[in-house]
Amino acid sequence: MIKTEHLTKKFGDLTALNDISCTINDGCIYGLVGSNGAGKSTLLRLIAGVYKPEKGNVTVDGAPVYENPKVKERITFVADELFFLPGASMNRMADLYAAVYKRFDRKRYKELTSLFGLDPKKPINTFSKGMKRQAATILALSARSDYILFDETFDGLDPVMRNFVKKIVCEDILDRNATAVITSHSLRELEDTCDQLALLHKGGLILQSDVQNLKTGLFKVQVAFREEYDKTKFEGMNILQFIKHGMVANMIIRGDQEKTVARLKAMNPAVLDVLPLTLEEVFTYEMEALGYKYSLES
Amino acid sequence: MKNRKLFDFGLYREGIKQLKTPGIVFFVIFMIAAVAVPLTEVIDRGYSIEIVTGMDMHPVLLGLCIVAFILTLYLFGFLNKRNTADFYHAMPYTRECVFLSFYASVLTWLFIIAAATSLVSFGLHSIFSGHFTVVFSSWLMYTLNCLAAAFLAAACTAIACAITGTTINGIIVAVLIMFLPRFIIAMITYEITLLLPMMSYTHIGFLLEGKYNLLTYLLFESLGIFNWFNDILADPAAFIYTIVLSLAYAAAACCLFKKRKSETAGQSSPNRIMQAVYRITVTMMICIIVLCLILDVSTFESDEVFLIIFGYFIAVFVYFLYELITTKKWKNLLKAVPALGIVAVLNGLIYCGMLGIYQAHLNFTPTADEITSVSLQLEEMPRFSLENYYKYQSSDIKLTDERVKQIVAKNLKENVDALKATRSKNASDTYYKYSNARNYESCSIVDDDFASAQYIRACVKIRTKSGAYYRKVVFPSADFKIIIDSLISNPEFQKRALTLPEPVKNPITFGYSNEKHTDKAAYEVFKAIQDELASVDADVWLSQLKSYHSPAHISYRTVINNNEIYISVPILPNLTPKSYEKFFEYTYNTGRSDRERILSLLKSEDYKKYNVTAEIVLNQPNGTFVQVRIDLNDETIPFLLDNLVDERIGPNDSYIYIEIRYGAHDIYIEGADHFVGYFKLSNLTYEDIINKIIVDNMMDAKEY
């Protein structure tokens, strides 16, 4: 289990992360979403033991990560800016990983290389950007680490390959009961992959929740009554947003969907529709409820 | 080590792999040089035998420092890019482990290059033993010293990599770490020795002498500041100092590497404080020069005020320029202004230190009672003649005579007083009355030839209870003679004067011949001289050395403290008669063909095509000898041919030494005809010579 407690990281005068506390349970795929400069990469580097926090700590199963080879041995970090040795082929990089990570699985490496259709003898610098990301993913998965940290790794892949890579990663994580932390600035990238999601904004952890809870806990209702009404009619409901055009009102409500619908039906509405929310919309409304102005695509 | 906290073989092997390309390139370059040097020498030199030192054998090995610099920058270059720094810092190792494993990889490559190419060089020189005499100790020390200098360069570069975040800054800081401390010390000591002419730049105290830091020494030597190249590169003290310094620097690099933040990658420095340190350091290089000018102005009436102002202007310009170049932000110039105060404070402190050192050395005038002993010093290593060998051997002879101490104390005081008077206002140029003083190095210690000079300037090591100090003191020649007499009568010096060091292998040269004799018989002649000298009276031997340029002498090379020394020993019939006989027996047996050729040339007109020199040594009835250089021509040759006989020369015989060589005077042509012969002269008196032979230069005649 990865645990961060009151984690703070500064770069000169800039506070990149401020008092972050979170828990990443074993066996889950944890998504970190946030706009550029939110602190996603910094958090990942702190978890990987690259950065030393100014305050707070990062532990894996209770042991600190920074300068602790035993813990770092269990973590593989795939950075946003990939690194390969100059002129190296995938096989050369595999040698490096094998020297560094004791559990590096050559068989799995060969399987994945063949699955992705990459030439392991070809210099990586001749690969396309997407192929490089595939190569980095293959190497990281072959390291057989308990924790794999992907920093915007899937963002540069085409949709087909992105789904393929996600599928491979998910299978690998499930098979080995490993844990993955994936960052992205786009929630859509993480929506169908992650078990847990956290939102970082300007160095702070705004929201952290189970994806399923997020999706079911918030829903949109379109309702109309024959008589005049306003928001007070729905007292007792946790309405995050209420917009009324004419007789029709659109509401974003947090709570038990079935109970809420039953209560609304009891009010004898002329129109009652429950509309599904995308994860992006859920995040948007949750953020607005917290007083943040959050643009999902920014 | 499995815990990956200090060292990891896997990472070490990875470092070796990553350095494979530049390592192999440098290996090939050094190997080509190691093979090419002996082969070229063999082709160029022909069959002459040469004693070769480590530097002669493999001069390119000096470049190992540059290799160390490049390899370290290459391997630790990962620190300068965010993605590479993150990659390596995310690996399951401690930072110490990454540093030590990678640093060991660099050192391994340096060792492989140095060891393999030096061994090949040694092997080839040994294979061609007919051309080279290899001094093993010199080769070994040279290789070790080059490695030590390279290790130091690697350590300095590693420190620079640990505290910078860009390649250009890494290079600048590495160069500063390597050379700046020594540059500052060298500037200060140079300035002080310039202002205090009685101080010796080469003897200013162990740590202050740049020659022990092999890395800076290589640079200073290439700039012509020092001149002891071979000597220092074979000095164990230099090796120990440099290797200890490199270990200290490597430890510092490891600590800094551990403290380094990964996010420093791509930044000119880890933080504003370090940026200010670099900026101030660069500026202080200029300021040191200006401070020397200020010291010059304040202690001597020098008119360099404009230069001082201009120097500080340049320093401030460099201060801001560095900030602009490294940070590329104009707004940072304003932020850099306050740290100029630190520059000012540093200038004040260093100036006070320089002035303090200057005053302390200027006022060093111990009384005779305070001096415990005195030794005469040679400024540089002697290379030629027995005379210089003796001077070298005298450098640690402690002279404790009261008169010597008084002379040294009195003259040092007078020198200092004269200097002080010269530098005060309205003073006459008293100190510079010594400007025509003759140097101790250029005068003999066994002859009174310095008596003709008014003053002698000699470097003396003055031992006091508070330590030993070296001073160049100008003595009146009469005073200096007393010191020399004290040296000559010193029992330890006399013992050394009668002990000849062994030749390094052979060759031994006989007389003026350019042939090098390598056989056993030549060594027997040397042993005879060595044995006979041991029982000779030292006073008589030293007093008669004035005739050391006698045609009867042997010359050979030896190595003392890894320094090659050329020694020429005269063979005097009255002091070493057995050697004298053996010498002529040897030259008679080996020089037969030369003598036949000389006689044949002299009998024909062909000798005119050659350059001919001749010297007659006459045995007088009173047992003394007269040595006369003569000119051979149509008038003198018939007379000489009538009187010389091709027989073995005995202890009481007069003889003539004739040398004939093709080519102009003083120009030696490789491989051209060159004949040398000693001929016995039958019944020829000094008067006969005067009357019958035109004397080329009678002033050359010496009696012994």
**For an interface test with B, which of A15, A46, A47, A50 has the most B Cβ atoms less than 10 Å from its Cβ?**
A50
Q: Which residue of B has its CA nearest to A81?
A: B83
> What local confidence, expressed as pLDDT, does residue B666 receive?
57
**For an interface test with A, which of B1, B4, B87, B327 has the most A Cβ atoms less than 10 Å from its Cβ?**
B87
Encode pLDDT of A71-88 as tens digits: 999 999 999 889 999 889
Q: Is any Cβ of chain A less than 8 angstroms from the Cβ of B82?
A: yes
- Report CB contact under 8 Å: B261, A81: no
| Number of CB atoms found within 10 A of residue B231's CB | 18
* Least Cα separation, residue B555 to chain A (angstroms): 60
A222, two tokens: 């379109």
- The larger pLDDT score, comparing residue A84 to residue B614, is at A84
Distances (CA, A) of B499 to B389, B494, B576: 11, 9, 14
> What local confidence, expressed as pLDDT, does residue B92 receive?
93
Phi, psi angles (nearest 5°) of residue B304: -125, 25
Cα separation, A78 vs A150, in Å, equals 5
Q: Is the pLDDT of residue A185 over 60?
A: yes
- The larger pLDDT score, comparing residue B667 to residue A47, is at A47
Spatial contact of B584 and B679, defined as CB atoms under 8 Å apart: no
Q: Residue B92: which of A81, A82, A100 has the nearest Cβ? A: A100
Contacts 24+ apart (CB under 8 A), B124-129: B124/B34, B124/B35, B124/B38, B124/B39, B125/B38, B125/B52, B125/B57, B128/B38, B128/B42
Residues of A in contact with B84 (CB under 8 A): 83
Spatial contact of A93 and A85, defined as CB atoms under 8 Å apart: yes
Which of B:396-455 have CB within 8 Å of A?
A: none
Give the model's confidence band at B67: pLDDT under 50 very low, under 70 low, under 90 confident, else very high: very high
- Report CB contact under 8 Å: A69, B11: no
> What contacts B252, CB < 8 A, 6 or more positions away?
B155, B159
Q: Is any Cβ of chain A less than 8 angstroms from the Cβ of B1?
A: no
Interval B388-403 mean pLDDT: 88
Count Cβ atoms within 10 A of the Cβ of residue B657 and give its class: 0-12 exposed, 13-18 middle, 19 or more buried: buried
Residues of B in contact with A48 (CB under 8 A): 86, 90
Q: Do the strands A248-254 and A271-275 form a parallel or antiparallel pair, or are they unpaired?
A: unpaired
**E strand or H helix that includes residue B643:** helix B636-643
> What local confidence, expressed as pLDDT, does residue B433 receive?
66
Phi, psi angles (nearest 5°) of residue B74: -65, -50
- Report CB contact under 8 Å: A72, B11: no
Please name every residue paired with A222 in a beta bridge, in sequence order, or none if there are none.
Answer: A250, A273
- Report CB contact under 8 Å: A77, B13: no
Q: Is residue B537 classed as helix, strand or coil in its secondary structure?
A: coil
**Within 13 Å of residue B46, how many CA atoms lie on the same side as its CB?**
5
Q: Where are the beta strands (DSSP E) in B329-436?
A: 371-377
Q: Which residue of A has its CA nearest to B14?
A: A96
Among the listed ranges A120-134, B282-296, B487-501, B503-517, which one has the minimum average pLDDT value?
Answer: B503-517
Mean pLDDT of chain B: 83
Residues of A in contact with B11 (CB under 8 A): 99-100
Please name every residue paired with A244 in a beta bridge, in sequence order, or none if there are none.
Answer: A249
Spatial contact of A268 and A227, defined as CB atoms under 8 Å apart: no
- Report CB contact under 8 Å: A81, B3: no
B4: left (phi over 0), alpha (psi -120 to 50) or beta: left
* Least Cα separation, residue A97 to chain B (angstroms): 9
Please name every residue paired with A9 in a beta bridge, in sequence order, or none if there are none.
Answer: A17
Residues of B in contact with A77 (CB under 8 A): 86-87, 90
Spatial contact of A33 and A294, defined as CB atoms under 8 Å apart: no
Q: Residue A83: which of B5, B13, B87 has the nearest Cβ? A: B87
Q: Which residue of A has its CA nearest to B270?
A: A12
Q: Is residue A128 classed as helix, strand or coil in its secondary structure?
A: coil
Q: Is the pLDDT of residue B151 over 90?
A: yes
Residues of B in contact with A101 (CB under 8 A): 92
Spatial contact of A273 and A219, defined as CB atoms under 8 Å apart: no
Q: Which residue of A has its CA nearest to B264?
A: A11
Q: Which residues of A50-78 are buried (b: 16+ CB within 10 A; e: fewer)?
A: bbbbeebebbbeeeebbbbbebbbbbbbb
Spatial contact of A244 and A270, defined as CB atoms under 8 Å apart: no
> What local confidence, expressed as pLDDT, does residue B686 receive?
67
Instruction: Please name the amino acid found at residue B522.
Output: A
Q: Do the strands A196-201 and A29-34 form a parallel or antiparallel pair, or are they unpaired?
A: parallel
**E strand or H helix that includes residue B195:** helix B167-195
Q: Is any Cβ of chain A less than 8 angstroms from the Cβ of B332?
A: no
Mean pLDDT of chain A: 89
Interval A237-243 mean pLDDT: 88
**Within 13 Å of residue A205, how many CA atoms lie on the same side as its CB?**
18
Encode pLDDT of B225-248 as tens digits: 655 545 566 678 888 999 999 999
Q: Is any Cβ of chain A less than 8 angstroms from the Cβ of B20?
A: no
- Report CB contact under 8 Å: A50, B86: yes
Between chain A and chain B, the number of residue pairs with CB atoms below 8 A apart is 69
A218: left (phi over 0), alpha (psi -120 to 50) or beta: beta
* Least Cα separation, residue A83 to chain B (angstroms): 6
**E strand or H helix that includes residue B404:** helix B402-423
Residues of B in contact with A83 (CB under 8 A): 81, 83-84, 86-87
- The larger pLDDT score, comparing residue B190 to residue B511, is at B190
| Look-up of token digits 């500037």 | B187
Task: Give the A-side interface with B, CB within 8 Å.
Answer: 11-12, 45, 48-52, 67, 69-73, 75, 77, 79, 81-83, 85, 95-96, 99-101
* Least Cα separation, residue B5 to chain A (angstroms): 7
Count Cβ atoms within 10 A of the Cβ of residue B250 and give its class: 0-12 exposed, 13-18 middle, 19 or more buried: buried
- Report CB contact under 8 Å: A49, B93: no
**Which stretches within chain A are classed as H helix?**
40-48, 69-72, 90-100, 106-116, 129-142, 159-176, 187-191, 211-217, 257-266, 279-289
| Look-up of token digits 């190997």 | B31
* Least Cα separation, residue A213 to chain B (angstroms): 33
- Report CB contact under 8 Å: B86, A83: yes
- Report CB contact under 8 Å: B90, A48: yes
- Report CB contact under 8 Å: B262, A73: no
Among the listed ranges A132-146, B6-20, B222-236, B401-415, which one has the minimum average pLDDT value?
Answer: B222-236
Contacts 24+ apart (CB under 8 A), B520-526: B521/B586, B521/B589, B521/B590, B522/B554, B522/B586, B524/B582, B525/B554, B525/B579, B525/B582, B525/B583, B525/B586, B526/B500, B526/B554, B526/B556
Residues of B in contact with A99 (CB under 8 A): 10-11, 13-14
**For an interface test with B, which of A89, A96, A100, A104 has the most B Cβ atoms less than 10 Å from its Cβ?**
A100
Spatial contact of B149 and B222, defined as CB atoms under 8 Å apart: no
Q: Which residue of A has its CA nearest to B263?
A: A51
Cα separation, B419 vs A199, in Å, equals 80
- The larger pLDDT score, comparing residue A154 to residue A50, is at A50
B74-78, B180-184, B278-282, B609-613: which is most confident: B74-78
End-to-end Cα, chain B, rounded Å: 76
Q: Is the pLDDT of residue B600 over 90?
A: no
Q: Is the pLDDT of residue B411 over 90?
A: yes
* Least Cα separation, residue B153 to chain A (angstroms): 25
- Report CB contact under 8 Å: A52, B92: no
Encode pLDDT of B445-470 as tens digits: 777 667 777 888 899 999 999 888 99
* Least Cα separation, residue B171 to chain A (angstroms): 21
Cα separation, B294 vs B299, in Å, equals 8
Q: Is the pLDDT of residue A120 over 90?
A: yes
Q: Which residue of A has its CA nearest to B87?
A: A83
Residues of A in contact with B272 (CB under 8 A): 12
Count Cβ atoms within 10 A of the Cβ of residue B549 and give its class: 0-12 exposed, 13-18 middle, 19 or more buried: middle
Give the model's confidence band at A273: pLDDT under 50 very low, under 70 low, under 90 confident, else very high: very high
> What contacts B175, CB < 8 A, 6 or more positions away?
none
Encode pLDDT of B530-570 as tens digits: 999 988 988 888 877 765 456 778 888 787 766 677 788 88
> What local confidence, expressed as pLDDT, does residue B460 receive?
93
Residues of A in contact with B95 (CB under 8 A): 67
Q: Is the pLDDT of residue A298 over 60?
A: no
**DSSP state at residue B616:** E
> What local confidence, expressed as pLDDT, does residue B702 receive?
45
Rounded to 5°, angle at Cα B447 from B446 and B451: 130
Encode pLDDT of B296-354 as tens digits: 887 766 677 888 999 999 999 999 998 888 877 888 888 889 999 999 999 999 999 99
Encode pLDDT of B199-226 as tens digits: 887 777 667 777 788 888 877 776 666 5
Interval B38-61 mean pLDDT: 78
> What local confidence, expressed as pLDDT, does residue A89 receive?
95
- Report CB contact under 8 Å: B93, A82: no
- Report CB contact under 8 Å: A50, B262: yes
Torsion of CA A155, A158, A159, A165, to 10 degrees: -70
> What local confidence, expressed as pLDDT, does residue B249 receive?
97
Give the model's confidence band at B516: pLDDT under 50 very low, under 70 low, under 90 confident, else very high: low
Which ipTM was obtained for this model? Answer: 0.86
- Report CB contact under 8 Å: B87, A12: no
Cα separation, A9 vs A42, in Å, equals 8
% of chain B with per-residue pLDDT over 90: 33
Rounded to 5°, angle at Cα A168 from A165 and A169: 85
**DSSP state at residue A49:** T
User: What is chain A's alpha carbon radius of gyration, rounded to the nearest angstrom?
Assistant: 23
